[in-house]
Structure 1
Amino acid sequence: MKFNPTRAIVHNEGCDLHYWYQGKGPLITFIPGGNGHGRQFNNMMAALSDRFTCVTFDRRQMSASQVPVNKRLSPPQQARDIRAVIKALGFDKSILFGSSSGGIFAFQFALDFPDMVDHLIAHEAATIGILPDASELMDWFHHLLEVYETRGLEQVVSEFDQMMIGYDAEGIPKTVPPEPENVVNFWDNEVPALLAYMPNFWRLKENQTSIGLMRGVRCGEAAFARAPVEQAKILDCPLFVVPGHHQGFEVETNEFLPSFLEMLGTLERKRSSI
């Protein structure tokens, strides 16, 4: 379908959350990661809105969803923001698709509001603490924070981009860049909090939350692409290798969609067999 969403605002905990939605049917909520903006999911929404109600939003302190004073990221507050968007649309539950830290916020949502989760698909949620080389990665991220504090944003972005494998593949369109303010908020307020946070995967398994995991084939052995492998060992849930890089859903949407729909079908069949 043509992308022609309805745009709206819901106020939650001091923030006007800007969201947009399109389509009819079961709800899919698309949750942005560290770049903060929802427009990376516009192609997915257009493609799926013939059978689903699709919604996304700009996260708190990102893009249009600004607050008077930026604060340190809180994953539980991010989960409550997701709930506010879902409730504003009049739904009691949703399929969740979260990429990168958006996947982490989807996990948190499932922990706090398990009855509101239909299925949860996490695409390369970078929980580096469960990786075999977690110590080295933690040291590297703390090095990046020191680089940010002493040498500035441009240098830290340059070093961080070494992890973003596959973005320069020949013939692949460029992603929509976030506003510069989003990048500052990410390094000021989100990276330090995310380094200290780990979702309770064992509780998610105990709750029998319907979860599917994805890693992008273009990402190689990047840390965020290896994290779903370790998550799947704990959660005992489906893990798909899908087309594209860390934002393949945005720029290789047609190639990505069959895997997305196959995952939903797999989760439906798994739930029906329980």
Structure 2
Amino acid sequence: MTAIHTLRVPGAHLHYEVRGSGPLLLLMGSPMEAAAFASLADALAGDRTVVTHDPRGISGSTLDDPDEDTAVDRRADDVVAILDALGADSADVFGSSGGAVTGLALVARHPDRVRTLVAHEPPVMEILPDVAEHRAMTEDIIETFRREGQGAAWAKFMTGAGFDDESCEEAPAGPHGEPSAQDVANGDRFFGHDLRATAGYVPDVPALTAAPTRVVVGVGATSKGLITYRTSVALAELLGTRPAEFPGDHAGFLEDPDGFAEALRRTLEG
């Protein structure tokens, strides 16, 4: 059974969902919403209380100002607000892609609120030696979105991320096949207001290494060739750790939620 909640936070109403029982585990993405993590959450809910949410401005998490450009730190503070609403001092956190960036900001800003962070393929391009090229690519994607629309922007985004030509032919589909009106609205939000902040986030490595939180960087077993594989390996090196391998690629939790859940359990228990 899934309990659905709405929480008022500065500038927004957050949609979040709670299922299962046991130690608290938060699953998060950006721009991926709660629905994208439903299968993984179901696979983990037998022995954990699993919380998922829609990031501000995405799906059910509505903004007072729809034109707000969302900072990563504000997304992290939203997660703290959810923990407060749950009456939880701390939790384990799994963040994927932009959600991993949110998790890194969460630990840097609120280190006492996270026991273990598993940051799965965070796109932290700022730590790469060719960062200037990636900054220019991000700006080109945003300008393409404004000039030509979401389809062209998705094609450039997927190509820049390292996905093959077939994956780059169209925008990512929703859970039922073709992109829904909400998928399109989320894509508009991503390119128009979220991408620059996520891609430009600089991890606070001294804060991450000083925190009491155990920080694990995750990579997909088949992600080599993706930019997020490079960023993950580089981040793990800066933290003095080795990446933990998970099934599949950047979206392995969608492809094999049960196998991914088992790998995540092992990582959290390790």
TM-score by length of 2: 0.89
Deviations 1:115-151 (A, max 9, x none): 1111000000100111233222222222212212222
Q: Is the 8 A contact 2:101 2:201 kept in 1?
A: no
Deviation beyond 3 Å, 4+ runs, structure 1: none
Aligned to 1:125: 122
Aligned to 2:228: 224
SS where residue 51 of structure 1 aligns? coil
| 1:178-217 equivalences in 2 (<5 Å) | 179-217=183-221
Q: Is the 8 A contact 2:124 2:200 kept in 1?
A: no
Unaligned runs of 5+ in 1: 169-173, 267-274
SS where residue 250 of structure 1 aligns? helix
Deviations 1:66-124 (A, max 9, x none): 11322011112111110111121221101011001101111111111111111000000
C-alpha distance in structure 2 between counterparts of 1:64 and 1:182, whole Å: 10
C-alpha distance in structure 1 between counterparts of 2:63 and 2:28, whole Å: 19
C-alpha distance in structure 2 between counterparts of 1:196 and 1:246, whole Å: 19
C-alpha distance in structure 2 between counterparts of 1:125 and 1:197, whole Å: 10
Aligned to 1:103: 100
SS where residue 59 of structure 1 aligns? coil
Note closer, same or farther for the CA distance 1:29–1:107 as it changes in structure 2 (3 Å cut): same
Aligned to 1:272: none
| 1:155-170 equivalences in 2 (<5 Å) | 155-162=152-159, 163=161, 165=163
Aligned to 1:45: 41
The range that moved more, 91-100 or 217-226, is: 217-226
Aligned to 1:22: 19
C-alpha distance in structure 1 between counterparts of 2:236 and 2:79, whole Å: 24
Note closer, same or farther for the CA distance 1:130–1:84 as it changes in structure 2 (3 Å cut): same
Is residue 2:253 matched to residue 1:256?
A: no
SS where residue 218 of structure 1 aligns? coil
SS where residue 225 of structure 1 aligns? helix
C-alpha distance in structure 2 between counterparts of 1:254 and 1:99, whole Å: 16
Aligned to 2:69: 72
Q: Is the 8 A contact 2:30 2:97 kept in 1?
A: yes
Unaligned runs of 5+ in 2: 168-172
C-alpha distance in structure 2 between counterparts of 1:110 and 1:251, whole Å: 28
Deviations 1:30-56 (A, max 9, x none): 112223x11111111111111111000
Is residue 2:87 matched to residue 1:83?
A: no
Q: Is the 8 A contact 2:93 2:103 kept in 1?
A: yes
Is residue 2:61 matched to residue 1:62?
A: no
C-alpha distance in structure 2 between counterparts of 1:146 and 1:155, whole Å: 10
C-alpha distance in structure 2 between counterparts of 1:196 and 1:46, whole Å: 32
User: What amino acid does structure 2 have at the position aligned with 1:90?
Assistant: G
SS where residue 63 of structure 2 aligns? coil
Aligned with residue 240 of structure 1, among 221, 244, 252:
244
SS where residue 229 of structure 1 aligns? helix
C-alpha distance in structure 1 between counterparts of 2:152 and 2:174, whole Å: 21
| 1:28-39 equivalences in 2 (<5 Å) | 28-35=25-32, 37-39=33-35
Deviations 1:139-174 (A, max 9, x none): 222221221222222211122122263796xxxxx7
Cα deviation, residue 208, structure 1:
4.2
Aligned to 1:140: 137
C-alpha distance in structure 2 between counterparts of 1:147 and 1:73, whole Å: 20
Superposition RMSD in Å: 1.8
TM-score by length of 1: 0.88
